[in-house]
Amino acid sequence: MNLTDSEKKYLKSALSFKEAEKYIKKFNNKIFVIKYGGSALSNSYLANNFAKDLVLIKKLGVLPVIVHGGGVQISETLKKENIKSKFVNGLRVTDKKTIKIVEKVLIKRINKKIVDLINQAGGRAISLPGHKKEFIEIKPLKKDMGFVGKPKKIKLKNIKSLLKKNYIPIIASLGFKGKKVFNINADTVAGELAASLSATRFYFITNIKGVLDKNNKLIKEITAKKAKELINKGVIKEGMIPKVETCLNAVKKSAKAAVILDGRVPKLLLKEIFTTKGVGTLIGKK
């Protein structure tokens, strides 16, 4: 394990190496798909922590694949262009003018920043837009949604080739149909990717602690069956429902487990992956 002195110091500040050893062996050469919200980049301290964490988990043997969105930044840019944002069931209606802005923000602003942060931290990140190289083929949604789709076919060899070359792929949530570019919900892309790759972990980074019980206390681990029960009882509610359902869908297909994590926690990935306690809610098949 070839860690620099500063990386060793950073690692020790987050966890006990002795405790981490068994997890390093357990997760060696395993694929982890991580959904990283564009809004998380607004806090430079946490964004830099995330980049350092990724470089370290890669050096410790994990194969991370990052999927990002950029809803906040897209809305801000559209507002500056005097274009009103319209949403249907949480999805942005995307016309010809809007899709050009979506593509520009996701690729040139957010994707580039994530790649740069990881590379500055000593990693080897590379941009992988979903609409390039026939990567994510989409099925369009209703016509009144415009250029919005959901994944129909994902070309996995694009990712596997980069992982073999020791890169960290940074995927922008775009897709293609013919020669046209489509906007895709980043949560959906991440979930489908985790399932398609049979990821050992699907990490869903959000801005809350995780799944909470009726007393607002964090549930550390939950089965798919119990999660569905809590949704039906109204314990899991509002914005947490689609997040949990995305995780359930990934686990139902072939991801080994999903974890909802609080992106506000410093050194988040190290604490979650390499400690017994963890920091989020793990959703397993049983």
What pLDDT is attached to residue 188?
A: 94
Supply the mean pLDDT for the chain.
92
Q: What sign results for the dihedral spanned by CA atoms 47, 261, 194, 18?
A: positive
Q: Which amino acid is at 37?
A: G
- Report the percent of the chain where pLDDT is more than 70: 99
Q: In one letter, which amino acid is 95?
A: D
Mean local confidence (pLDDT), 14-29:
87
Other residues' Cβ atoms within 10 Å of the Cβ of residue 244:
23
pLDDT in tens, 66-92: 999 998 899 999 999 999 989 998 899
Averaged pLDDT, 38-46: 81
What residue has token string 């949560």? 187
Contacts 24+ apart (CB under 8 A), 143-147: 144/88, 144/93, 145/88, 145/91, 145/93, 145/94, 146/93, 146/94, 146/95, 146/96, 146/98, 146/99, 147/94, 147/95, 147/96, 147/98, 147/99, 147/180, 147/181, 147/182, 147/183
Domains, in order of start, for the chain: 16-284 (3.40.1160.10)
Cα Rg, the chain, nearest whole Å = 18
pLDDT, residue 6, reads: 87
Residue 207: per-residue pLDDT? 84
Structure tokens that stand for 162 in this block: 């980069």
Tell me the per-residue pLDDT of 154-208, one tens digit each, with 9 for 90 and over. 999 999 999 999 999 999 999 999 999 999 999 999 999 999 999 999 999 988 8
The pTM for the full model equals 0.94
